Structure formats: C-alpha cells, structure tokens
Amino acid sequence: MTSLRSPARPLSPHLQIWRWTPVMAASITHRATGIALYAGTVLLSVWTFAAALGADAFRPVGAILASPLGLALLAGYAWALLFHAFNGVRHLYWDQGRGLDLKSVKATALAAFGASLALAGVIVGAALMNRAG
Amino acid sequence: MTHKGTATFIAQRTSAVILLPLAIWFLAGAVAHAGSSYDEMRAWLATPLNAVLMGALILAGAFHMRIGLNEIIDDYIGAGARGIFKLLNLFAAAGAAGLAVYSLFVIAA
C-alpha cells in the first residue's frame, strides 16, 4: 500500500541565493515584517492581559512602552504593519492576474516601501505630538 | 499544509482582507491614545465596539500569522522537525488569541 505521507520535498533557496532587486527586497521584507508582526501580535496580547490585570500590573508595561526603546519598538511595529498591508494589497492585486509585468512589479515594490515609510513617519509624528501636547 | 493548498490560499487572502480595515482602526486608535493615562486607555478599550474590534484584530491576526509562519516552516525546515515547529506555531497563535479574548472580556465586563 502506498503511503500517504509526504515524500521529501526540496527546501526553498535561502537569502544569499537571490540577487538584490526592489522586487526581491519587497518579497523578503514581506516575510520579515510578517515574522515581526507575529511577535507584535503576541506582545499586543500580553499588553491586553496586563491591561486586564489592573493599573499596578500595567505600570511596568506602560513604562517600557514610554521608554526610547519602547517608542522605537512602536515605530517599527507601525512601519511593519503598514509595509505588510501595502505589500499585501500588491499580492491581492496580483491574485486578480493584474500588475505582473516586470515594470509594474518594480514600480509597486518601490511604492510599497515609499508609502509605508512616509505613512509610518506621519503616524509616529502624530503620536509624538499627541503625547507631548 | 499538504493537500490543502487552495483552502489555505483562500483562508490567507480572506483574513488579509478582514485585517486591512482593522489595521487602520488600530493605528488610528494607537495614535489617538499616545498621551492617554491607563484609565483613559482602558475606558476606551472597554466600550463594546472597541473591545470587539480589538478581539477581531487579534483573532484574525492569529489566524493569518499561523498560516504565514507555516508557509515559512514549509520553505525552510526539513521534514523531520517540520511537524514540531508547526505544533509550536499553533500553540503560540492559539495562546495569543486566547489570552487576548480572556483579557478583553475582563476589560469590557
């Protein structure tokens, strides 16, 4: 009887195999931000738990988030979320069978980087202004 | 995700579409509460709409991130250890979702 178990499948080529281009960079950044957002979601869950426990339990969490390291973490989280969202829209667009020519994939890759960085800058700026005033 | 490629593909795209508006709501809420005290932030999260949206964000996020990490595990982990990594992935995603749902119930109660 033939086994239903999967045969040994080949692994994907690692990072050093690929030549760096905007399209390749967007693809690997999509994965990297996906992993970062995985960690961010776990932290968000821990954050809600600390908030549920009460003001005393939340105090150290709030202090970490308000520190320079915490603010850098939040800024990075905002950018990762924005890049993954913009690049995700790119994927949804491709799923319609559109925008798959070389010129389009390069232009939309650069757009995903540019738009996510710009909007992250606006969000971090707005948050800092709101916090200060 | 052997033999379930199409279902996984659709599940990942569906959760992505659900997550887009939730991500916008989340970033807007985070910016609006950058200067808030614990009590202000908790009162905001305790309203039914915000508690439900936060729950939806974390649940859809946990669902989406589990599929995404499973794909990375398929790409880079050999057949021997793959199952263990996928099990750990399920525990982490389900744990994050469960902890958040419990916490939001406590906050909204």
This prediction has a pTM of 0.92
Any chain A CB within 8 A of the CB of B52? no
3-state secondary structure of A42: helix
State pLDDT tens for residues B2-48: 678 899 999 999 999 999 999 999 999 999 998 899 999 999 999 99
pLDDT given for residue A4 in this prediction: 57
* A80 interfaces chain B, CB cutoff of 8 Å: no
DSSP A97: T
Is residue A86 within 8 A of residue A115, CB to CB? The reply is yes
Contact B4, A98 (CB under 8 A): no
- The pLDDT tens digits of the residues spanning A50-97 come to 999 999 999 999 899 889 998 999 999 999 999 999 999 999 999 999
The 10s digit of each residue's pLDDT in A95-129 is 999 999 999 999 999 999 999 999 999 999 999 99
Residues of chain B contacting A91 with CB distance shorter than 8 Å: 13, 16
Nearest to A123 among B27, B38, B99 (CB): B27
Q: What's at A116, amino acid-wise?
A: S
pLDDT of residue A82: 98
Dist CA B36 CA B25 (whole Å): 17
Backbone angles phi, psi at A13, to 5 degrees: -60, 145
Tell whether A89 lies on the interface with B, counting CB pairs under 8 A. Answer: yes
3-state secondary structure string, chain B?
CCCCHHHHHHHHHHHHHHHHHHHHHHHHHHHHCCCCCHHHHHHHHHCHHHHHHHHHHHHHHHHHHHHHHHHHHHHHCCHHHHHHHHHHHHHHHHHHHHHHHHHHHHHHC
Instruction: Using alpha carbons only, give the angle B109, B94, B39 rounded to the nearest 5 degrees.
Output: 30
Give percent of chain B above pLDDT 90: 89
Q: Identify residue B8 by its one-letter amino acid code.
A: T
Closest CA to B38 of A65, A132, A73: A65
Q: Would the pLDDT of A39 be above 80?
A: yes
Residue bearing the bigger pLDDT, A9 or A79: A79
